[in-house]
Amino acid sequence: MDRIADLWGPRTPHAKGTVWPARVDQYLADGLAEDQVDRWVQSACLLCSNGCGCEIAVRDGRMVGIRGRAGDVVNHGRLGPKGLYGSTPWASSPDRLTHPLVREAGRLVETDWDTAMARIVEVSRRLLADKGPLTHGFYTTGQLFIEEYYTLGVIGKAGLGTPHMDGNTRLCTATSAAAFKESFGADGQPGSYTDIEHCDAIFLYGHNMAETQTVLWSRILDRTRAADPPLIVCVDPRRTPVAREAERTGGVHLAPRVGTNLALMNGLTRELFVNGWVDEPWVRAHTVGAADLRSIVEPYTPREVARVCDVDAGELSRAARIFGESRDVLSTVLQGFYQSHQATASAVAVHNLHLLRGLIGRPGSGILQMNGQPTAQNNRECGADGDLPGFRNWDNPNHVRELAELWNVDPLTIPHWSPPTHAMQILSYAEEGSIGLLWISATNPAVSMPESARVRRVLAGDQCFVIVQDLFLTETAQLADVVLPAAGWGEKTGTFTNVNRTVHLSEKAVDPPGEARSDLEIFLMYADAMDFRDRDGAPLIRWRHPEEAFDAWREASRGRPVDYTGLTYEKLRGPTGIPWPVNDQAPEGTDRLYTDAVFPTDTDRCETYGHDLLTGATVTEQEHRALRPAGRALLKGARHTPPHETPSEDYPLLYTTGRTVYQWHTRTKTGRARTLNDAAPDAWVELSVADAARLEITEGDVVRVESPRGAIQVRARVGQVREGAVFAPFHYGAWDPAGLDVDASPSRQANELTMTVWDPVSKQPYFKTAACRVTKIRAGAGPAPAPTTAASAPATDGVPPTAGGPPTTTRRVDTPHYPNDPGAR
């Protein structure tokens, strides 16, 4: 099959309440036959949060292909286009980093590890001696392994004692974690993928799952294309494949004005109250805050929501009725909420809807506050993102003491005198120079952070010493003082956890190129050189190998909601990934949380005392105690406010950004997979038919898009976005694999236009709300380079369909037994 043309593969429809059938997808590069593969190595796909169980094909010491694992609870054997075509080609790309680089007289030159590490340690020691640990900042990722995050977390928190640690997870799914903490007391995905098999309706909020978790979407399609399908409700300003499926199933597509999610959510919530769809006894027994919530949402009548969001009042009511009257509902939430205005309040509103009806903790009634990156969850769990390991509360002295005992350090070493520093604040400190050493691992902020011109200036300046640890000489690495070559997926061993808590072991399949080393080895090298010690003078970090690091992390998770104590490498070498908590009570893992409707909100147990959702003001321990949540969930609301930047005469359109199915972020991997790159080779912007007509822009024209912060020049796709909005994919920076002339100014990088603003609670930057104007520069020669297969489909005929993937195989196999699957009982 050509999986560029066919994103989701063939359907395996099945009835409600039955197990999702297995189907094994496989791709071998260069037309290799199966018997030419030397060995298959167990892993899970690292190209999105879905974490599909897989095996890597190895031939002559190279990764040459991939196949799904039929027994894995996550994907039942399937893989999507990115997983198939994009997992391995980057690894043998000739431009991999193979030696450390250091800056000499303005230029990056090759060196050896000793020299590079000595330079880092010299700066590090000098800054510590002169000004203490607040001079150190770490900006990591959602793409390393548990073992690496935990090690980095201990270095930062117990070795150095800096609160300035965060990840690109802040840009990604900080809101997911924040929303869980506000509603349920701690992070932790309540729902399960098996909810798809049991639900009667699925609500997708700002989530283009069809492109961003293609395998999960095929799981949904296998229900919507069978008897007894669930209704789909989609909230997205674009007519995505999700929106089209909503129309097809008789559900609803609500396309709100960009930046108005909370008004829409308040409208849905009010409908539950006024139509008597609230399960009053359940709400009384298991929640706190219903009366306040009711008064907050009271003004949001369907008419008022229609006015603010520019959606049809009747359609809003119809969506509310589907939520109110379906027996079981599954909700998913992603960047259309997390990166848009009032992010945490909007994500929490999804929890409120479920809580008001008691739709949580049973098959079919789940919430998936999605992750995006494959290992974002682990950064949150292990504490490399500012949170304390094990979902501990930085504001609770007992939680800090537990960690101090575990690490055998003084509790005062562990930063907990103020909230952890978030990514955009770390950048500001680096800008001022109060952070004098910034260590960036596995992320490319020169392309992915908002307001690119500022980011470039900060990273290139002399006020801060910048270390970049990556596979490639990215746009960010080019600005660094030291560049460290890292081993990637398949070149090292480690574990990670997908969006529904399922933990996988990813084994080393091949050696990294040249002198590249695993991130774990690099962090340990630094710890050794700095000679971090515990209270008794013993080495602070006592592990050397991934498995030992994993065992150390398991101890840190003991007794916490995120309990890994029952997991071992040995157990993870079995047929499937295993969802946490895994412990004596649940030795085979846990499919869904909160089956007993008891939430970790107790003041002594919770991960946060919470915030005011409108302002972000923190709730104190005393205030939290006075609430007496005692295991009940919290209903919290806020009124809608307008976004930071609204359309004006100069900038009359709303600018929003996101993804396409074929590219992964800044394309360091997918750009090196020719099949994928050819399907989406260059940047574009999507305009509505009405706006394009008004601006006299037609398909493929070259346009200039400007905001008060910058400009890009790209081709126009007249497509599926709602009127008044402009959508830009954020994947395209200066680097280009096909040698396109992208040095031309203005650039094509979506973040030239975005703003430095963030959500008051989760501190997640808003990549999806800015104002812009669009001007035609010249007529294009042919259509825009945007794919036709999904949300960027053209509105006009005559654009050749996106196709051309080399053959993959897909075969039906007997459906194995999946532990914990309620359909199998």
Ligand X SMILES: Nc1nc2c(c(=O)[nH]1)N[C@H]1C(S)=C(S)[C@@H](COP(=O)(O)OP(=O)(O)OC[C@H]3O[C@@H](n4cnc5c(=O)[nH]c(N)nc54)[C@H](O)[C@@H]3O)O[C@H]1N2
Q: Which residues bind Mo ion (CB under 5 A)?
A: 172, 372
Which residues contact ligand X (rule: CB under 6 A)?
A: 48, 82, 141-144, 168, 171-172, 206-208, 211-212, 235-238, 240, 256, 258-259, 261, 334-336, 339-340, 372-373, 441-445, 447-448, 469-472, 474, 486, 488, 519, 656-659, 661, 663-666, 668, 727, 730, 750-751, 754, 767-768, 791
Phi, psi angle pair for 332, to nearest 5°: -125, 150
For residue 215, the partner it binds in Mo ion, ligand X, ligand SF4, none, with Cβ less than 5 to 8 A by kind, is: ligand SF4
- Residue placing its CB nearer to ligand SF4 in the complex, 583 or 663: 663
Rounded least distance, CB 768 to Mo ion, Å: 12
What is the distance between the terminal CA atoms of the chain, rounded to a whole angstrom? 34
State the Cα–Cα distance between residues 612 and 622, nearest whole angstrom.
Answer: 15
Give the separation between CA 104 and CA 435, rounded to whole angstroms. 22
| Site string (36-55) toward ligand SF4, x via CB under 6 A | ---------x-xx-xxx---
Give the torsion sign (CA, 729, 735, 738, 739).
positive
Place of tokens 């924040």: 178
Shortest distance (Å) from residue 769 CB to ligand X: 6
Closest contact distance (angstroms) between CB of 207 and Mo ion is: 12
Residue 657 contact among ligand SF4, ligand X, Mo ion, none, beta carbon within 5 to 8 Å by kind: ligand X
Residue 50 or 340 with smaller CB distance to ligand SF4:
50
Q: Cβ of residue 218: shortest distance to ligand X, in angstroms? A: 14
Backbone Cα Rg of the chain: 25
Q: How many CB atoms lie under 10 A from the CB of residue 222? A: 23
- Nearer Cβ to ligand SF4 (51/822): 51
Compute how many residues bind ligand SF4; rule: CB under 6 A: 14
**Partner interacting with residue 55 (select from Mo ion, ligand X, ligand SF4, none; CB below 5-8 Å by kind):** none
Query: 409 contacts which partner out of Mo ion, ligand X, ligand SF4, none, CB within 5 to 8 A by kind?
Result: none
Does 215 help bind ligand SF4 (rule: CB under 6 A)? yes
Tell me the one-letter amino acid at 442: A
CB of 678 vs Mo ion, minimal distance in Å: 24
- Chain-centroid distance of CA 201 in Å reads 24
Nearer to ligand X, 340 or 413 (CB): 340
| Token pair for 32 | 């290799």
Q: Least separation, in Å, of the C-beta of 43 and ligand X?
A: 13
* Helix, strand, coil share (%) of the chain residues, nearest 5: 30, 20, 50
213 is a site residue for ligand SF4 (CB under 6 A): yes
Place of tokens 């992750």: 371
Q: Which residue is nearest to ligand SF4 (CB)?
A: 83
**Smallest separation, CB 129 to ligand X (Å):** 28
Please say which residue, 66 or 134, places its beta carbon nearer to ligand X.
66
The least CB distance from residue 266 to ligand X, in Å, is 14
Using alpha carbons, select from 634, 214, 659, 739 the residue that is nearest to residue 448: 659
Name, in order, each residue with C-beta under 8 angstroms of 108's C-beta and a sequence gap of 6 or more.
101, 102, 473, 478, 480, 483
Q: Which tokens is 312 given? A: 């049809």
Beta carbon of residue 80, minimum distance to ligand SF4 (angstroms, whole number)? 3
Residue placing its CB nearer to ligand SF4 in the complex, 45 or 541: 45
Our CA angle for 735, 737, 742, nearest 5°, is: 45
82 binding ligand SF4? (CB under 6 A) = yes
Residue 79 binds ligand SF4, judged by CB under 6 A: yes
**Binding partner of 334, given ligand X, Mo ion, ligand SF4, none, CB within 5-8 angstroms per partner class:** ligand X
Residue number of the CB closest to ligand X reads 372
| Contact status: 80 vs ligand SF4 (CB under 6 A) | yes
Q: Which residues of 468-490 are buried (b: 16+ CB within 10 A; e: fewer)?
A: bbbbbbbbbbbbbbbbbbbbbbb
The answer to whether the bond into 746 is cis (omega within 30° of 0) is yes
Distance between CA atoms of residues 286 and 295, nearest Å: 19
Closest CA to 479 of 491, 464, 489: 464
Our CA angle for 813, 818, 824, nearest 5°, is: 95
The least CB distance from residue 498 to ligand X, in Å, is: 12
CA distance 7 to 207: 17
Q: For 358-422, where are the alpha helices, taking DSSP H only?
A: 376-382, 397-407
| Interface ranges with ligand SF4 (CB under 6 A) | 45, 47-48, 50-52, 75, 79-80, 82-83, 213-215
